[in-house]
Amino acid sequence: MTGSGDSAPDRAVREADAPHPRQASRLSEGHPALILLAGRRACEIEEAAEAARSACRSAARPACEGPPPRPLPISAKGDTPVHDSTNPLTVPAVRGLADRSSDAAASTRIVLAGAPLQNDNRGVEALGRSVADHLASSSSVARVSILDDGWGIRPSGVHTGSRAEIEFAGARYSRRWYRRESWARIRFDQRLGGLGNPMAERLATAHAVLDLSGGDSFTDLYGSHRLATVSAPKEAAIRSGRPLVLLPQTFGPFTTDGARRRAERIVRASALAYSRDAWSHEQLVRLAGPGADHRYLREGVDVAFGLVPRRPDPQVAERFQGLGEELVVGVNVSGLLRTAAEARRFGLAGDYIATMTALVRSLVQAGAVVVLVSHVYGEGIEESDTASIRIVRDALSPAEQERVWVLPPHLRAAELKWSIGQMAWFAGSRMHSTIAALSSAVPAFGYAYSDKTAGVFGTCGVADHVADARSVAGAEAVELAMESFNTREQARTLLESRVPAVVSRARGQLDDILAAVATWSRSAEPVSVVG
């Protein structure tokens, strides 16, 4: 705790109510949004709502209606850890979890943010699907509301066998500020008790809000708008007084003071915060500040390690089977690094497309059949991998092209993982394409543009199979990749011994979180936050 003299709940409320660039009181005087509810301006309504909240805070809590306080997070029952007692990362922070009795089954309501399932970025989909599948299989979960960019509340249609209600819930930054899915409208309605807004209601009645930030988007590296989008559900959870759990993700980097302060407020108001590797954990600890309670800052692993692969359509599966005894390898070519402008933005050491083309040629010369894999797909999407793959393939000779197969880009994340699992070796720049390989014990090489990839590979004991595209390119990068290719059997042996424990941790940390949420929903203790 910070020791600043104010209570954690009051600090969380104060920080959550910090000015937001889209709140109604920041709109121009003549904006239509300021003329609501019998002619009263929205800023006047906000002032009245704030006065009511202040009165509630100063009075005895039982006299105030609103969400119940968040209790101290607990993650184990008695002296028996929920997950692996030999793993210090999953040993409970606090002892004494009460037994989850049968009458509490299927009662937990969860909001899942930061990883919509219907996403053309298969890495983001892999994150969301891993968590959603696990929650859907839990007997304690009654409802999971998965935030996405759609409109309204809709059944997901992807977990038809689950006893839990799995739904998609639209929440977005939108010029249609008056729509209930708009974050501006959600914030406004939250200030007035919800006003029948389905999204505000789900936030207010959730036992916890779990947030993934798209795995690596809790940063201003991709611009201020992306950071605002990623921060919106976190800040909405804090405003609603619900426990916010930051699922394993990358924290930072933050290049501006304003972005760092925003991240610090969110982290310090969280009930639990997980990093996904050692490097990210260092950033998380810094954001939490010197007074943070480190019991609630945990080093986890990327949840996509727990994604269950799914066999794709027969045409794709039979194509793999038809390759027989061929040496099949995979290469992901990222659309994010294709242009000269993006190369300058990320500080790449050289021509990325030329490097990947040379790698494919070297693999073909080594006798391999090369499968080119898109991990971000979508017509008209600037970052789509399909355009980069097309450029690489077109640069090959006809004889080389005969040894190259472009995997259909429409495959979903679980189908891509199955496909990558059929390969003898894999190289990629999209980190979650390489996680699909590592979690299947397929030797992989990461040609990375950020520090996050080395951390994830290090989790599996193969950090030496990563090259930094900001430092090496061209022939030097290809040489490193081919060295990884030539030592793939040693890497496979290592992965087969290490990966099962990593996959177990990926799933077990979700069990730990559900166990903690079960105690929060029953406890009347005061809220406890990270900082």
Task: Give the integer Cα–Cα distance in Å for 449 and 471.
Answer: 9
Q: Are 426 and 448 in contact (CB under 8 A)?
A: no
The one-letter amino acid code at 48 reads A
Task: Give the integer Cα–Cα distance in Å for 438 and 421.
Answer: 9
Mean pLDDT in order along the chain per 10 residues (531 residues): 42 40 35 36 41 43 36 32 31 29 65 92 94 94 94 84 88 84 91 91 96 94 91 95 96 94 97 92 95 94 96 96 96 93 90 98 98 85 88 97 95 97 97 97 95 89 96 98 98 97 96 93 54 59
Taking CA atoms, 89 is separated from 80, 174, 215, in Å, by 14, 39, 19
Q: Considering only CA atoms, which of 62, 159, 182 is closest in space to residue 110?
A: 159
Taking CA atoms, 88 is separated from 83, 96, 298, 299, 300, in Å, by 10, 17, 10, 9, 10
Residue 182 three-state SS: strand
Number of Cα atoms under 13 Å in the Cβ half of residue 171: 32
Residue whose entry in the numeric block shows the structure tokens 């943070």 = 292
Read off the pLDDT of residues 199-223 as tens digits, 9 standing for 90 and up: 999 999 999 999 999 998 999 988 8
DSSP 450-510: STHHHHHHHHTT-GGGEEETTT--HHHHHHHHHHHHHTHHHHHHHHHHHHHHHHHHHHHHH
Angle, alpha carbons 203-208-213 (nearest 5°): 85
Read off the pLDDT of residues 317-328 as tens digits, 9 standing for 90 and up: 999 999 999 999
SS (H, E, C) 334-347: CCCCCCHHHHHHHC
Residue 79 three-state SS: coil
Report the phi/psi class of residue 394: left, alpha or beta, with left for phi > 0 and alpha for psi in -120 to 50: alpha
Please report the domains of the chain, with CATH numbers, ordered by start residue: 107-300 (3.40.50), 314-502 (3.40.50.2000)
* Tokens of residue 376, six digits: 């971000």
Q: Considering only CA atoms, which of 378, 461, 392, 381 is closest in space to residue 429?
A: 392
Task: Give the integer Cα–Cα distance in Å for 112 and 203.
Answer: 10
pTM summary value = 0.78
* Tokens of residue 301, six digits: 């692993």
Task: Give the integer Cα–Cα distance in Å for 412 and 221.
Answer: 27
Read off the pLDDT of residues 367-418 as tens digits, 9 standing for 90 and up: 999 999 999 987 656 789 999 999 999 999 999 999 999 999 889 999 999 9
